[in-house]
Amino acid sequence: MPFSAILRKSKAMKLKAAIYCRLSEEDRDKPMKTADSESIQNQKSMLLDYARAQGWEVYGIYSDDDYTGADRQRPAFNRLLQDAKHHQFDIILCKTQSRFTRELELVEKYIHGLFPLWGVRFVSIVDNADTANKGNKKARQINGLINEWYLEDMSENIRSVLTNKRQNGLHIGSFALYGYQKDPKHKGHLMIDREAAEIVRQVFTLFSQGYGKTAIARILNERKIPNPTEYKRLHGLRYQQPKKKNSTLWTYSAIANMLANEIYIGNMVQGKYGSVSYKTKQNKPRPKQEWFRVEGTHEPIIDPELWNQVQTLRAQRAKPCAIGTIGLFAGKTRCAHCGYTMRSSKSHGRHYLRCAIRYAAKDTCIGSFISVEQLQQRVTDEWNRLAAAYLDPTKLAQNITVCNCLQTQKQRLLSDQAACEKKIADYKKAGRELYMDKAKGLISENDFAELWDNFSKEQQRLQTALANIQKQCNENETLSKADNSRIEILKAYVPYKRLDRAAVEILIDYISVDKRTPGMKEAPITIHWNF
């Protein structure tokens, strides 16, 4: 519906306005986690008063609290777009254009592109953006450009500030580690949570007395002690939403991670993961040498003597994962029922894999179970069957020799990555200059639209190419760590006589193991290959 039709419609009936509010920083004074922030309430009040003054009927209020203007996964934002597409209202009303988005691409796509097609008017009252007023289109475009620059500058500033805080040993995480709470009087400082700290001491003490990680988890579950996530939920503390079933239970991995965490002896260790881009929440692991480690930043829960004793025991109990059958499938097998990683055990000289939850919490999972020897043979047989059916050993070896030098390949990939990143940066700069030329009236709307479309397609192509290059870099690194000679490893795979850890790492993503049913000789398994 064109705007002229909207204006004619307004004479016959009230226009419907959808109010959109957003806040990117959490309001510390919220009475409860589900309450709207004070700033969001102020935005709503301002926009409601404005809508009433204009004689508009309020269709609904869409509110995103604690979301940035570059986050495209905002739930209320996406509901707003869907409702706009189906013309559930006539107007979108915001406090400022940046409340709707800070991205140039979305300004052009929705405010200047799809909204007019859908017959939806966009209004922001503070910066006077109104798509019904063609005279301020240039101002809206310049605002979009400034907001995009703001995002980049803010990202760099935040990164610099966070790095400085980490270097000074200040805690910057959203959640305090189990056993600690954020100090309300000193930002960035951790203080001991006495109740949870006592459980942490029990875990370290039990391990020092000879109890295994699964046994400790079982003891805590039998005592009905909530795991860290459930403890925080019960006490009204911030916590990360669990993804697995049985999330209230202690597990082997929870105990293992606790026993290895230096924060419990007063050292602050941060920066284990880093963000990929300011436009996404995706993180990736960082090399250990890039972590930030500062000693003596807060009160320890575990004394040095107990800590050293536990670390010595951990080192003694650690099993080399590439030798023998113990650890052959470490981290690669999952229970088909609860999804938890299976743990190794030994009985009468034979090694088995069992569901971790089955022994950490009785009657919670039916308990998948399989012998390592049987699983090794079945995986080997299945791989040889696939290799015989789909791989030609001679051609495979010939193809591998083309790029037998991983170091050369790595240098080429890094060079391609740098070139791709430079081209992306060049296109971003050109896009900004193009916006400014259009805002100044130096180029026509048609020329701009054509150039912008070409820029967008080329940037998308480069982003895809960059993602592929990064994926290849990761694969290169994995192969380098697995063996010094990729040729010799892969040649040994076709055919394969006896599976080893290097083969498991290269070939297998994970294996889902079910429980053997009565009358069946073997437990059902599903192998998820890395190809």
Highest mean pLDDT among 244-258, 276-290, 353-367: 244-258
Mean pLDDT, rounded, for 140-146: 57
CATH of the domain at 237: 3.90.1750.20
Whether residue 530 lies inside any domain: the answer is: no
Domain that holds residue 41: 3-163
Q: Establish if 76 belongs to a structural domain.
A: yes
Mean pLDDT of 84-91: 94
Same domain? 236 vs 306? yes
In a domain, 345, yes or no: no
User: What pLDDT was estimated at residue 139?
Assistant: 60
Residues 174 and 45 in one domain: no
Closest by Cα among 80, 83, 89 to 9: 89
136 pLDDT above the threshold of 70: no
Of 139, 163, 187, the residue that ends a domain is 163
- Given this model, what pLDDT does residue 19 score? 94
Greatest pairwise CA separation for the chain in angstroms:
87
pLDDT of residue 267: 93
User: How much of the chain exceeds pLDDT 90, in percent?
Assistant: 20
Task: Say yes or no: 152 and 185 in one domain.
Answer: no
Helix pair angle (252-259, 194-208), 10° resolution: 90
Say if residue 84 is in the same domain as residue 159. Answer: yes
CA geometry: angle 123, 127, 131, nearest 5 deg: 35
Last residue of a domain, one of 114, 129, 163: 163
Exposed, middle or buried by CB within 10 Å (0-12, 13-18, 19+), for 46?
middle
Confidence of residue 91 (pLDDT cuts 50, 70, 90): very high
Q: What is the mean pLDDT of the chain?
A: 77
Give the DSSP letter string of 226-250: PPHHHHHHHTT---PPP-SSSTTS-
Query: CA dihedral defined by 211, 217, 221, 225, rounded to 10 degrees?
Result: 100
Domain check: are 138 and 222 in the same one?
Answer: no
Q: Are residues 53 and 172 in the same domain?
A: no
Residue where a domain stops, chosen among 259, 290, 317: 317
Same-domain check for residues 28 and 139: yes
Domain count of the fold of the chain: 3
Pair 153, 100 in one domain: yes
Q: Is the peptide bond before 495 cis (omega within 30 degrees of 0)?
A: yes
pLDDT of residue 201: 95
- Considering the domain architecture, whether residues 159 and 172 belong to the same structural domain is answered as no
How much is the pLDDT for 482?
Answer: 46
Task: Output the 3-class SS for 117-136.
Answer: HHCCEEEECCCCEECCCHHH
pLDDT of residue 261: 93
Question: Mean pLDDT over residues 11-28, rounded?
Answer: 74
The whole-angstrom separation of Cα 85 and Cα 110 is: 10
> Does residue 494 lie in a domain region?
no
pTM exceeds 0.75: no
285 and 201 both lie in a single domain: yes
Are residues 266 and 122 part of one domain? no
The pLDDT value recorded for residue 244 is 56
**pLDDT tens for each residue of 92-127:** 999 888 888 877 778 878 888 899 889 999 998 887
Instruction: Report the pLDDT value the prediction gives residue 299, as an integer from 0 to 100.
Output: 95
**107 inside domain:** yes
216 in a domain, yes or no? yes
**Planar angle of CA 252, 257, 261, nearest 5 degrees:** 155
What are the structure tokens assigned to 360, written together? 């950490």
CATH number, domain containing residue 72: 3.40.50.1390
Residue 367 has pLDDT above 60, yes or no: yes
**Which one of 136-150, 284-298, 389-403, 467-481 scores highest in mean pLDDT?**
284-298
Provide the CB-side half-sphere exposure for 4 (13 A, CA). Answer: 0
pLDDT at 471: 74
pLDDT of residue 331: 77
Question: Cα torsion for 361, 366, 371, 374, to the nearest 10°?
Answer: -160
In the predicted model, is pLDDT for residue 487 greater than 50? no
Interval 342-352 mean pLDDT: 80
* Residue at 157 is within a domain: yes
pLDDT in tens, 321-344: 333 333 678 778 888 877 777 877
Measured between its terminal Cα atoms, the distance across the chain in Å is: 50
Query: Most confidently modeled of 45-54, 67-76, 284-293, 357-366?
Result: 45-54
Among 366, 342, 373, 341, residue whose Cα is nearest residue 518: 366
Amino acid at 281: K
Q: Are residues 20 and 157 in the same domain?
A: yes
For 8, residues 6+ apart whose C-beta sits below 8 A from its C-beta are none
Could you tell me if residue 508 is inside a domain? no
257 pLDDT more than 50: yes
Of the ranges 258-272, 381-395, 508-522, the best mean pLDDT one: 258-272
